[in-house]
């Protein structure tokens, strides 16, 4: 063989290998950037882009444009200052390559095996799929006295699921603005449900006159013959806003019969959470008919909204009651980093956005303070974020040492987070059900079982100790 040709051959092979290697590096960088910056909202497996009905188009140029300019009002951060043009182009290539030929059904098939026994730190358990027929995003759930479940779906449906998994649609739910994080959200039964059939739904409600504004509202209705009747709003958070995120919306009755409602900052973090003249970025406490308890912390303060119980809160999507102390614990979806668990006390300020352990989604700083006089520290916080939603203490005895531990759903990392507790102290943490899908809610039924709601396709799962 001619020496020159051979040389040329080696040079070609060498540059090919270099090219492959740098392609590999680019792909790794993009994958890492995707994981750090995008996966929390768009899915670890890029599921939000698979079979997507693209709003702004899916040509490489259009996608690059979406990433660069974002849509802050709809919850998509602008990354034009976070990444270089080159990085945005590579991210775009990464997304388009990764989703090519994939279907949602295909992603679903990679889900875990529900048959096997799962061995965790202190307990072996099994997962019972009660239903996998929820299409959209299940958000809240309750168990009825007869053992059936009511589950809300964010797009505006309420289902009854019987213990065999049979789904029935319940009519009479309020009209919701099912856009972005809004829709039909939490559900809770009145403590005397058996006698009065009352239940409560939180949802995003359209402004009566202005078509582009909405807010969080709570309606009380009666469940009669499998239908809701007399649905009446007993709480409407003001002001209405054009934004479609941070509704908060978790509902909880304490042991004395007060109803707590968690309301997010609705994207107006510098305007609302630190001021008492509005409902946003607060926890509210009302009577079961919407009236205001006389002993609420700000009832006598001029200009303050009297239902406010605690303030300085970002997007509170978890509320649960400690089985022994009976204190109310709040779970808060943070910015990038800085998800929190707080113990609520009347009139306390939880600091958002003056103090936080998080930063903006695009990497810039919100504040340099993590603590300040007069502002509460969280009992626990996560950096990086796990994107928590619903949470519950496990009050029942059937799970051994899991009793009194706190179970927090993780949307972002798609598992159930267990905080092992000793009284009010978190002694360690454990990840359960990894890769199960975006976990929306954790709930203890009146049958003492722990239930988990998972997104896409929506599932209601029961955890059975072995
Ligand atoms: C905090 C949540 C959040 C994060 C983080 C986020 N996105 Fe988004 N993204 C959204 C939402 C919500 C939309 C839809 C916006 C709308 O409806 O206008 C969106 C839209 C998009 C679109 C346009 C989709 C279409 O239908 O046209 C692209 C592309 C996109 N995101 C890519 C990314 C990339 C890449 C990252 C990471 C660098 C990222 N997003 C991070 C929430 C997020």
Evaluate: CB of 6 within 6 angstroms of ligand 1: no
What is the structure's pLDDT at 23? 56
Ligand 1 centroid to Cα of residue 359, in Å, is 18
- Per-residue confidence at 414, pLDDT binned at 50, 70, 90? confident
**Residue 87 belongs to domain spanning:** 3-106
User: Does residue 38 sit in the same domain as residue 124?
Assistant: no
Ligand 1 mutation target, pool 30, 31, 36, 41, most atoms within 8 A of CB: 41
What is the structure's pLDDT at 10? 57
What is the number of structural domains in the chain?
2
Ligand 1 centroid to Cα of residue 354, in Å, is 27
What is the structure's pLDDT at 451? 97
Evaluate: CB of 344 within 6 angstroms of ligand 1: no
Evaluate: CB of 59 within 6 angstroms of ligand 1: no
Evaluate: CB of 54 within 6 angstroms of ligand 1: yes
Residue 203 domain-assigned? no
User: Does residue 84 sit in the same domain as residue 60?
Assistant: yes
Ligand 1 mutation target, pool 76, 82, 314, 336, most atoms within 8 A of CB: 76
User: Does residue 258 sit in the same domain as residue 360?
Assistant: yes
pLDDT in tens, 316-357: 999 999 999 999 999 999 888 899 999 999 999 999 999 999
Residue 436 has pLDDT above 90, yes or no: no
Residues 247-272 have a mean pLDDT of: 97
Q: How high is the mean pLDDT of the chain?
A: 91
Residue 235 domain-assigned? no
User: Does residue 8 sit in the same domain as residue 141?
Assistant: no
User: Does residue 432 sit in the same domain as residue 343?
Assistant: yes
User: Does residue 263 sit in the same domain as residue 408?
Assistant: yes
pLDDT in tens, 80-132: 999 999 999 999 999 999 999 888 877 766 666 677 888 899 999 999 999 98
Residues 436-445 have a mean pLDDT of: 92
Just list the catalytic residues. Answer: 246
Percent of the chain with pLDDT over 70: 94
What is the structure's pLDDT at 395? 92
User: Does residue 101 sit in the same domain as residue 247?
Assistant: no
Evaluate: CB of 179 within 6 angstroms of ligand 1: no
What is the structure's pLDDT at 446? 94
What is the structure's pLDDT at 154? 94
Q: 3-state SS string over the chain? A: CCHHHHHHHHHHHHHHHHHHHHHHHHHHHHHHHHHHHHHHHHCCCCHHHCCCCCCCCCCHHHHHHHHHHCEHHHCECCCCCCCCHHHHHHHHHHHHHHHCCCCHHHHHHCCCCCCCCEECCCCEEEEEEEEEEECCCEEEEEECCCCCEEEEECCCEEEEECCCCCEEEEECCCCCCCCCCCCEEEEEECCCHHHHCEEEEEEEEECCCCCCCEEEEEEEEEEECCEEEEEEEEEECCCCECCCCCCCCCEEECCCCCEEEEECCCCCCCCCCCCCCCCCCEEEEECCCCCCCCCCCCCCCCCCCCCEEEECCCEEEEEEECCCCCCEEEEEECCECCEEEEECCCCCECCCCCCCCCECCCCCCCCCCCCCCCCCCCCEEECCCCCEEEEEECCCCCCHHHCCCEEEEECCCCEEEEEEEECCEEEEEEEECCCCCCEEEEEECCCCCEEEEECCCEEEEEEEEC
What is the structure's pLDDT at 12? 53
Residue 166 domain-assigned? no
Residue 323 domain-assigned? yes
Ligand 1 centroid to Cα of residue 42, in Å, is 7
What is the structure's pLDDT at 164? 87
Which CATH number covers residue 267?
2.120.10.30
Evaluate: CB of 65 within 6 angstroms of ligand 1: no
User: Does residue 100 sit in the same domain as residue 121?
Assistant: no
Evaluate: CB of 77 within 6 angstroms of ligand 1: yes
Which residue lies with its CA nearest to atom 32 of ligand 1? 67
Q: Which atom of ligand 1 is nearest to the CA of 95?
A: 35
- Per-residue confidence at 3, pLDDT binned at 50, 70, 90? very low
Residues 395-404 have a mean pLDDT of: 94
Q: Which atom of ligand 1 is nearest to the CA of 38?
A: 37
Using the 3D structure, point to which of 106, 132, 159 is the last residue of a domain: 106
Ligand 1 centroid to Cα of residue 71, in Å, is 8
What is the structure's pLDDT at 56? 95
Which CATH number covers residue 72?
1.10.760.10
Residue 14 has pLDDT above 70, yes or no: no
Which residue lies with its CA nearest to atom 43 of ligand 1? 76
User: Does residue 259 sit in the same domain as residue 132?
Assistant: yes
Evaluate: CB of 352 within 6 angstroms of ligand 1: no
What is the structure's pLDDT at 4? 46
Ligand 1 centroid to Cα of residue 180, in Å, is 11
Residue 454 domain-assigned? yes
Residues 201-209 have a mean pLDDT of: 97
């Amino acid at each position: 063989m001619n020496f020159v040709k051979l040389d040329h051959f080696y040079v070609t092979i060498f540059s090919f290998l270099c090219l492959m290697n740098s392609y590999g590096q680019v792909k790794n960088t993009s994958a890492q950037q995707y994981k750090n910056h995008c996966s929390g909202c768009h899915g670890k497996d890029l599921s939000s882009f698979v079979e997507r009905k693209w709003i702004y188009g899916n040509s490489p140029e259009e996608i690059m444009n979406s990433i660069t300019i974002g849509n802050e009002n709809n919850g998509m951060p602008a990354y034009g200052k976070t990444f270089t043009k080159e990085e945005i182009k590579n991210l775009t290539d990464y997304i388009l390559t990764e989703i090519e030929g994939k279907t949602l059904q295909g992603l679903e098939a990679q889900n875990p095996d529900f048959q096997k026994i799962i061995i965790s730190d202190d307990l072996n358990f099994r997962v019972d799929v009660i239903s996998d027929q929820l299409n959209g995003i299940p958000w809240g759930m309750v168990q009825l006295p007869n053992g059936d479940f009511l589950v809300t779906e964010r797009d505006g449906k309420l289902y009854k699921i019987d213990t065999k998994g049979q789904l029935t649609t319940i009519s009479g739910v309020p009209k919701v603005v099912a856009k972005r994080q809004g829709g039909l959200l939490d559900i809770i039964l009145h403590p005397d449900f058996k006698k009065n059939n009352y239940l409560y739904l939180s949802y995003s409600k359209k402004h009566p006159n202005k078509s582009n504004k909405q807010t969080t509202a709570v309606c009380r209705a009666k469940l009669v013959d499998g239908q809701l009747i007399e649905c009446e709003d007993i709480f409407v958070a003001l002001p209405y806003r054009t934004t479609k995120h941070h509704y908060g919306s978790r509902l909880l009755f304490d042991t004395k019969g007060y109803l707590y409602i968690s309301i997010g900052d609705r994207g107006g973090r510098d305007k609302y959470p630190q001021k008492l003249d509005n409902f946003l970025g607060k926890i509210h406490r009302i009577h079961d008919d919407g009236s205001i308890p006389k002993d609420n912390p700000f009832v006598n303060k001029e200009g303050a909204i009297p239902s406010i119980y605690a303030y300085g809160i970002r997007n509170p999507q978890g509320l649960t009651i400690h089985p022994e102390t009976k204190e109310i614990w709040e779970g808060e979806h943070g910015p990038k980093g800085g998800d929190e668990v707080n113990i609520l006390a009347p009139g306390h300020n939880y600091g958002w956005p003056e103090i936080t352990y998080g930063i903006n989604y695009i990497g810039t700083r919100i504040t340099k303070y993590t603590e300040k006089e007069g502002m509460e520290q969280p009992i626990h916080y996560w950096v990086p974020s796990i994107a928590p939603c619903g949470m519950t203490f496990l009050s029942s005895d059937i799970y051994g040492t899991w009793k009194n531990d706190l179970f927090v759903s993780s949307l972002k990392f798609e598992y159930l987070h267990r905080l092992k507790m000793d009284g009010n102290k978190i002694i360690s943490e454990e990840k359960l059900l990894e890769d199960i899908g975006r976990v929306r809610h954790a709930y203890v039924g009146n049958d003492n079982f722990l239930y988990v709601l998972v997104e896409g396709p929506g599932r209601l799962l029961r955890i059975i100790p072995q």
